[in-house]
Amino acid sequence: MSKLNYLSIIFLFIVNSCNAQNKETIKIKEVWTPLKVYVNDQLIKNDKKTETFTYIYNISSKKDSISYYDISNAALKETTPIIYTLKKNKKTGDQILIINEKDISDSIIIQFLDESKSITINKHDTYFLNSPYYNELKQKVKQNNNVLDLIDLLDDNLGDYPYQFSYLKRISSNKKYKSKNFKIIRAKTVTNRTQSDLADIWNITYKYDQNNNLTSVIKKSTEDEVGFEKKLLFKKGSEFKYKIFNNVETRYEDNDEITFDIQKNTCNSLQNHFQFGLVKEETSQLKRTLYQKTE
């Protein structure tokens, strides 16, 4: 049997297993609207059209496995899902999130360190937490293999994680926003540059207001370069609005404003994307129009 056929059989087994224990389905629709385009500070015609995206998440009853379908351009039965499975590595004792996309496989390794109340991701990124949040994640992620709570920890995507992991952000448990007791104290991550063999080391600081709401996340390199910054603009009830800056190797930067409600599951973002080489700036809006949960 060829290696490709073997992988295909394994992949189909995982899909069928996930569907068999499926407990909850979340359907999400988003509308992306292009706004303005500038080149060399000159407004030009924007030829892009408004697009609608539709996603399906099948979540197992234990929340340890998720099947993700992008059905924006094809029917569900014609779409091959990405499968996420969180489990314990019996050889090392660590948790591992396995990501399968057709014949492509990737993973995230999660280690818990009780002494420092920290969680290490892929052996080089470390997140230091306060006791309540560490204990919660140790229970939910390490013992119960809850993928949604792992998303909550890593929702700002501050390290080199598989690109497929970002697709899960839409269904995060959002516990660190819902609970006043859960805090990330600080973090340290390492990222590899895409156009060289160099790596960057980042120190990440978190700040909270008197009500323990997350007000600021700043990611700085050892050379004091800011690669990511997230600032709370306002909070009203269960609604948060953040301004988010992200610079990628001085090739491009994003300056977005995102508003989301952790109870209503609404989300709306105004996006500003600048490409340095092209001296091109694009603005757009991404708005969630549907969040439907069925069991």
Collapsing DSSP to helix, strand or coil, 94 comes out as coil
Q: Nearest 5 degrees, angle CA 193-CA 194-CA 200?
A: 5
CB 188 within 8 A of CB 126: yes
CA–CA gap between residue 199 and residue 236 (Å, rounded): 39
Calculate the CA 59 to chain-centre distance.
16
* Distance set, CA 31 to CA 38, 69, 159, 163 (Å): 22, 17, 28, 21
pLDDT of residue 131: 98
What is the longest distance spanned by two Cα atoms in the chain? 62
Nearest to 153, CA basis, from 235, 69, 214: 214
Cα dist from 250 to 106, 255, 274, whole Å: 27, 13, 10
Cα separation, 87 vs 95, whole angstroms: 6
Using alpha carbons, select from 199, 188, 189, 204 the residue that is nearest to residue 249. Answer: 199
In angstroms, the CA 14 to CA 98 distance is 11
> What is the pTM assigned to this prediction?
0.90
CA 247, 253, 257, 262: dihedral to nearest 10 degrees?
A: -50
Q: What is the pLDDT along the chain (295 residues), one digit of tens a residue?
A: 444 444 444 444 444 544 445 589 999 999 999 999 999 999 999 999 999 999 999 999 999 999 999 999 999 999 999 999 999 999 999 999 999 998 899 999 999 999 999 999 999 999 999 999 999 999 999 999 999 999 999 999 999 999 999 999 999 999 999 999 999 999 999 999 887 888 999 999 999 999 999 999 999 999 999 999 999 999 999 999 999 999 988 889 999 999 999 999 999 999 999 999 999 999 999 999 999 999 8
Please tell me the distance from the alpha carbon of residue 17 to that of residue 85, in angstroms, as a whole number.
11
The pLDDT, as a whole number, for residue 245 is 98
Give the per-residue pLDDT at 176: 96
The percent helix, strand, coil of the chain (3-state, each to 5) is 20, 50, 30
Domain that holds residue 169: 3-294
**Number of domains into which the chain is organized:** 1
Tell me the one-letter amino acid at 17.
S
Residue 102 and residue 211: Cα distance in Å, rounded? Answer: 45
DSSP letter for each residue of 2-62: -HHHHHHHHHHHHHHHHHHTEEEEEEEEEEEEEEEEEETTEEE------EEEEEEEEEETT
Q: What's residue 21's pLDDT?
A: 56
Locate 271 and state its tokens: 């996006």
